[in-house]
Every structure is written in structure tokens, then in C-alpha cells.
Amino acid sequence: MALDTHPLNSLGLPKRPADTRVVVAMSGGVDSSVVAAMLAEEGYDVVGVTLQLYDHGAALAKKGACCAGQDIHDARRVAEAMGFPHYVLDYENMFREAVIDEFADAYLAGATPVPCIRCNERVKFKDLLATAKDLDADCMATGHYIQRKIGPNGPELHAAADPNRDQSYFLFSTTPEQLAYLRFPLGHLASKAETRALAAKYGLSVADKPDSQDICFVPNGNYASVIEKLRPGAADPGEIVDLEGNVLGEHRGVIHYTIGQRRGLGIGGLADPLYVVKLDPETRRVVVGPKEALSTRIVPVREINWLGDGAFEAEAERVVNVRIRSTRPPRPAVIRPLSATEAAVELLDPEEGVSPGQACVFYEPGTSRILGGGWIWRGN
């Protein structure tokens, strides 16, 4: 007997929408709410899931956060309005262990961490994705601005159509297995205005809700105060020294400084401006120097997630574009693999302010494809 076949639906699955269960990761913001409403209107079997990630003091009432307090309420209202089930999962302990603790430890070690990447990697695209499979969902959809396209060797990750909303820097660690299961229905939109227009069309209560800002568990963007609460004694003062080790002043705790910082050093009156070029937590020293001392050409990268074709270490060199901060455009570089998960990345034009703890994301030149990436570290 011939198998009953269906044309692919809008999510690329050979089923009718009514027979396709989709778990939508709902943060309570406009993006994920629009995704849930859009899929529900198309007739999919939508299940909304919101993760309660933290619940401490000011963060609950903070505007522009996600995954706590008011945001959970907003997600629930959208589910009720659109008529699909909604569940809240308590992931506070998991989030603290997998994201917040590492964030604090990385800052104390003089790095500049990106906890949003770890949250996607270790919580949303790992444990929540597993929960979606436990719910017998055919796929999981999110409100991220990134695209999933089918290439000759299977699903590929591509930058969003709107470069101002593109979240590829924060999603480089998505694995091929996860990519096969994930869907990103907003990645092709030309602007955030289109998303808000859809929210208005569906009559969503969050249509005019502000975008999330900063790191969700850091009220008002004050990283240092959060670190001090998590790690008492982290703000011990120390010396500000130049590249030769000469003491120029005293600082109020290494955690208050980042690589490339110029203002707020408290050592004015010098002929030339000085910048933070190194943080040494062990000696509690902040090392400063001229701007040219920030220039970096070779960037050591580890924990690499490769999304390109073939094995990462199969080629001695790869010419790519790399982004070393979320706010900077991709720049030409050469990757030289040292193993399946480590590499030396040579920037063709040196960059300033390359900081351990940030991500180095790889892009295929001339296309929108993300080839993966890794984490910048100090090297041996």
C-alpha cells in the first residue's frame, strides 16, 4: 500500500498544520508572542512554554527583562487569547548553575562573559528542547532573529534578513542536531516594525512592549553589584599599573573594569590617554597602556562549534569572516584549526579590545551563512 504523503507545511514538515505539534519558547516579549500567535492562526498544535529563570528583588519589576514576573504573566495572557495551552517551568536552579555562576566566575577571572549565549546553549536549546521532545512536539520555535535554511547537506544557520536585529552572534553554539529540530519564523522579516505590526494584527497585549535590554538577571545593567552579591569580596581594591608595572593609582575592584575601557580610571593629568589593556585578578591589578597596546591580530579560540561542511580540522586554513563582539561587523580572518574544538584565528586587520570571555563567530564570506564559532581565551 502506498504511503500517505503530504506536501511540506510552512515549518518544512510533511504534515498538515493541525497534525503538527510545535512547542514555542515564550519569554513574554513581543517576538516569541508573535511566533506563537502566527503558528496558532495557521492551525498548528501550539504549546507555549515559559521558563522562570530567576526571581530576585529588583529584577522582577525591571522593564526590559525576560523570563520572570510580569513576563510570565504576559506570555500566559497571549496563550489564553490565542487559545493554546501554556506551561511555566521552574528553571531557577538550573539557570543559576549553568549561567549565573559561570558569569560571576568569568568576571572574577578578568573575562567579559556573554551569558545570553550560555543560556541559549545550556538551557533553552538543551533542556527546553528536550522538554519539547518529551511533549511529543515535531519541532520547537523561538522568536530569535536568525534564519534556518536547507542547504545541500541539510539545515544551515543564516543571519537574519534585518542586520539590525540579527542574533547570530548569540546563537553560534547551536548544534546541527538542534538545528534540525528548531524553527525561527521571524528571521526573514525585514524589520522589527513588521513584527509589531503582526502583534497588532493578532491583537496581542504585548504589541507595544519594549524590547529586552541588557542581561536579564542584571538590573539596570549594573554588573558589578550583581557580582558583589554573588561573590562577596569581589570588589577588593588594587593597583592600576602601566605596561612596565609602574603604579599609577588605585582601583576599586577588577570587576568594575573591562578591556578597552578609557573613562573612569581616575588617573587623569597624563599627556596621552590610557586604556585598560589587561585585567589580572590574581594580583588584583588593572594594567593600562596606550591605544596601540589594545591592537590584536592573533585570537586563540576554544570550545568551537563547527556548522560548516566537512570536519573542522580537515583543512589547515580556512578564510572566513569573524565577529569578535556582538556590536562589531564581521571582518576577514584566517582560521587555523589546532584540534576539532580549538583554533588560532588571525585577523587580517588587527582589532582593538579583543577580550577573553567574548565569542568569536565565523561567517562564510559573501553569504549570510554562520559557520559556527567559539570562545576567546587568553591562550597558553
Q: Which residues are catalytic?
A: 119, 216
CA dist 184 and 298 (Å) reads: 34
- Range 210-237 burial, b when 16+ CB lie within 10 A, else e: eebeebbbbbeeebbebbbebeeebbee
**28 annotated among ligand-binding-site residues:** yes
**30 annotated among ligand-binding-site residues:** yes
Beta strand segments in 213-267, E: 238-241, 247-251
**159 annotated among ligand-binding-site residues:** no
- Closest-CA residue to 50 (of 18, 84, 20, 21): 84
**10 annotated among ligand-binding-site residues:** no
**143 annotated among ligand-binding-site residues:** yes
CA dist 378 and 373 (Å) reads: 16
Is beta strand 45-52 parallel, antiparallel or unpaired with respect to 146-151? unpaired
**Cell numbers for 26:** 515564550
Angle between helix 192-201 and 30-41 (nearest 10) = 50
**26 annotated among ligand-binding-site residues:** yes
SS3 content of the chain, % helix, strand, coil (to 5): 30, 25, 45
**25 annotated among ligand-binding-site residues:** yes
Task: List, in order, residues 6 or more apart from 310 with CB less than 8 Å away.
Answer: none
CA dist 235 and 254 (Å) reads: 7
What sign has the CA pseudo-torsion 201, 206, 211, 215?
negative
Q: Distance between the two ends of the chain, CA-based, in angstroms?
A: 63
**307 annotated among ligand-binding-site residues:** no
**245 annotated among ligand-binding-site residues:** no
* Residue ranges at the known binding site: 25-32, 51, 143
* Residue ranges at the known binding site for ATP: 25-32, 51, 143
